[in-house]
Amino acid sequence: MRLIHFKRTIFWVGELIYTLCKFWIKNPLETKAILRFIVEKIIAFPQFFSRNVFIEKHSRQFERLLFQTIKLYNKHGRNFNLKNMRSYKQLEHKLPNKAQILYFLIRNTKPNIIVETGVAAGESTGLILQALKDNRKGMLYSIDLPFQWYIYGSHKLHLDSLPAGKESGFLIPGELKKRWKLILGNTHERLPNLLKQLGEIDIFFHDSEHTYETMFFEYQTNWRYIKKGGFLLSDDISYTKAFKNFLKNKRVKKIVFKDLGIISKD
């Protein structure tokens, strides 16, 4: 391990311990979930460690993912029907990372304005921005709250950690950031004001805190701003019943691709 990696490890582990202790003090009733999280991360520590310390390797992997996604779209994009479940089924085994479907959707719809919640390292964000660059149009507005601990589903603890000293979206190549505006903060506070400023959007993508309260709030808040023919997208819809309950009494078409929910607002 080089000196730079040793320093990153010290600062990253320090931030993990500090922020987890703060969360633990505020949520003593979630001790069981916290202990389970610690055990799970110890078991998966090599991968967890690699993604947050050996970030050069992670960046190279992401650059390869972008290249592979573009190549796959050039091969299969013309036959992709974004409102036909069969098209998604055909891509299921061709796209190893479910976020790659975002590139296909955006290349086909050619949106002007996309709003996203949740960035973390920036894999999904980077794929969206690559699609906008290749479309030669569009803008992405992202809201993110770095190093956020939260409980979801059946008392499971979650964290999207960042390497020490790195900001949200650190994986994203610099040339893709021209069509991106990053807003730091809680979506409950930042999202309503952003949507009022934008007035109308083409696509909303939820990938922030996967709690029922936040997911349902984001779906409901964005829905009236999504223009006719636009899309509401949500990652990890199986985490809560928010996506299912939001669809009640709405006559819309739903597609699920590897736990990523897609609603067309026709």
Tell me the per-residue pLDDT of 110-147, one tens digit each, with 9 for 90 and over. Answer: 999 999 999 999 999 999 999 999 999 999 999 999 98
In this prediction, residue 250 has a pLDDT band, given cuts at 50, 70 and 90, of confident
- State the average pLDDT for the chain: 93
Residue 249 sits in a domain whose CATH number is 3.40.50.150
Q: How many domains would you assign to the chain?
A: 1
In this prediction, residue 244 has a pLDDT band, given cuts at 50, 70 and 90, of very high
Q: Which domain holds residue 193?
A: 3-265
In this prediction, residue 178 has a pLDDT band, given cuts at 50, 70 and 90, of very high
Picking from 197, 198, 188, the residue whose alpha carbon sits closest to that of residue 220 is 188
Tell me the per-residue pLDDT of 146-167, one tens digit each, with 9 for 90 and over. Answer: 988 999 877 889 988 888 888 9
pLDDT computed for residue 1 by the predictor: 61
Q: pTM for this structure?
A: 0.93
- Average pLDDT value for residue range 77-87: 90
- Average pLDDT value for residue range 234-252: 93
- Average pLDDT value for residue range 212-241: 96
Listed as own residue / partner, the contacts of 216-221 with beta carbons closer than 8 Å and 24 or more positions apart are 216/242, 216/245, 216/246, 217/187, 217/188, 218/117, 218/187, 218/191, 219/243, 219/246, 220/246, 221/191, 221/192, 221/195
- Average pLDDT value for residue range 225-242: 96
